Structure 1
Amino acid sequence: MDNKVYNVLVLCTGNSARSIMGEGLINVMGKGRFKAYSAGSHPGGVVNPFAIEQLKTIGYPTETLRSKSWDEFSTPDAPVMDFVFTVCDKAAGETCPIWPGHPLTAHWGFEDPAAVQGSDEEKRRAFQTIFRQIMCRVRAFVNLPLDKLDEAATRQEIIAIGKTQVLPLPEECERGELDVISK
């Protein structure tokens, strides 16, 4: 059994919604096997309250969440990342910093729930949908047998996870995945 704790950086442009939710989901669903962080190429400075609301549903502590630059993770004293995932198309198309340790990278694109216009209830539904989509990909990731896969196989797996269809939600994510997290 592999006792290594894998560092994961989840990137988006504004670091206010998708990357923040990805950080929380990886930390909770990874059950100590992963330490996730999030950042943005152009952080907005504020975490979206609907993202905070979603993270609270899984018991993730939200008091210290903040929107921060990816530059914080490219310095010599930053944690060395094993994986870097982009969760928005804009960030995926940008030139990223050189990450210490040369982590494996993949793009896991999701629609931006923060871009939804309408009532708070419509925005909340958009965040719930994207949260469940991220949850499905995170579930696949945290269940990879990383101690049995070589680097090439791991790279293939994380890229394949990013290509999995997220709409409509897979049945297992539609029915009670939140219950699995809380156990």
Structure 2
Amino acid sequence: MSTPIRHVLFLCTGNSARSVMAEAMLNVLGAGRFVAHSAGSHPSGRVQPMAEALAREFGYEGELRSKRWDEFGTPEAPAMDIVITVCDNAAGEVCPIWPGHPVSAHWGVPDPAAVEGDEETRRRAYVQAWMLLRRRVDLLLALPVDKLDRLALQGALRDIGRSGDDA
């Protein structure tokens, strides 16, 4: 018996950096187990070039685009199993009612797009955000998702969101 592929939606306000990087990362590392998506409450309409460059360097070949979270609240959209906010603003917003009532968690990550300075300073901020997301995605991939009930999975995902904050 094969295990079902889990759909994960990463949310951020602008859907231009953190959520897009998490989407690309989980699609590469979780291929065959997870399909990741990303969206924003107020999408910027473009993916930050440094976020896209990191995703491409990591081996992500799919389309990266900034999109509204409404796309995933329609009957035609894939039912999400997990919804993860990666920015504090999105975590505080009233989200749509997701079909299937997915498990949700918050994995706050500092916004690299907000960092000012020269290119090296900005790139360092993107790499730091990438590494924090990578630690958390690795922890997600280590979970026995198919063996956890809904409450246990939600608790584990929330614990992951608290990990790496001191890094």
Asked whether the two chains share a fold, i.e. TM above 0.5, the reply is yes
Tell me if the contact between 1:2 and 1:147 (Cα under 8 Å) persists in the aligned partners: no
Tell me if the contact between 1:13 and 1:43 (Cα under 8 Å) persists in the aligned partners: yes
Matched, 1:3 2:27: no
Matched, 1:133 2:167: no
Partner of 1:109: 108
Q: Percent identity?
A: 53
Superposed CA RMSD in Å reads 1.1
Once residues 121 and 143 of structure 2 are traced to their aligned partners in structure 1, the CA distance between those partners, rounded to angstroms, is: 34
Specify the SS of the correspondent of 1:57.
helix
Once residues 117 and 87 of structure 1 are traced to their aligned partners in structure 2, the CA distance between those partners, rounded to angstroms, is: 20
Q: How does 1:21-170 map to 2 (within 5 A)?
A: 21-61=21-61, 64-168=63-167
Once residues 126 and 165 of structure 1 are traced to their aligned partners in structure 2, the CA distance between those partners, rounded to angstroms, is: 15
Q: Deviations over 1:12-45 (max 9, x none)?
A: 0000000000001111111320000000000000
Q: In structure 2, what residue type is equivalent to 1:162? A: G
Specify the SS of the correspondent of 2:51.
helix
Question: Which residues of structure 1 form unaligned runs of 5+?
Answer: 169-183
Q: In structure 1, what residue type is equivalent to 2:50? A: F
Partner of 2:16: 16
Q: Deviations over 1:79-126 (max 9, x none)?
A: 100000000000000000000000000000000000000011111111
Deviating beyond 4 angstroms after TM superposition, the runs of 4 or more aligned structure 1 residues are: none
Specify the SS of the correspondent of 1:125.
helix
Once residues 105 and 146 of structure 2 are traced to their aligned partners in structure 1, the CA distance between those partners, rounded to angstroms, is: 19
Specify the SS of the correspondent of 1:9.
strand
Question: Please, which moves more after superposition, 76-85 or 25-34?
Answer: 25-34
TM-score (norm 2): 0.97
Once residues 28 and 2 of structure 1 are traced to their aligned partners in structure 2, the CA distance between those partners, rounded to angstroms, is: 20
Q: In structure 2, what residue type is equivalent to 1:91? A: A
Deviation at 1:166, TM superposition (A): 3.0
Question: Which residues of structure 2 form unaligned runs of 5+?
Answer: none
Tell me if the contact between 2:11 and 2:69 (Cα under 8 Å) persists in the aligned partners: yes
Tell me if the contact between 2:11 and 2:85 (Cα under 8 Å) persists in the aligned partners: yes
Once residues 166 and 123 of structure 2 are traced to their aligned partners in structure 1, the CA distance between those partners, rounded to angstroms, is: 17
Tell me if the contact between 2:87 and 2:109 (Cα under 8 Å) persists in the aligned partners: yes
Once residues 144 and 78 of structure 2 are traced to their aligned partners in structure 1, the CA distance between those partners, rounded to angstroms, is: 23
Q: In structure 2, what residue type is equivalent to 1:140? A: L
Tell me if the contact between 2:132 and 2:164 (Cα under 8 Å) persists in the aligned partners: no
TM-score (norm 1): 0.88
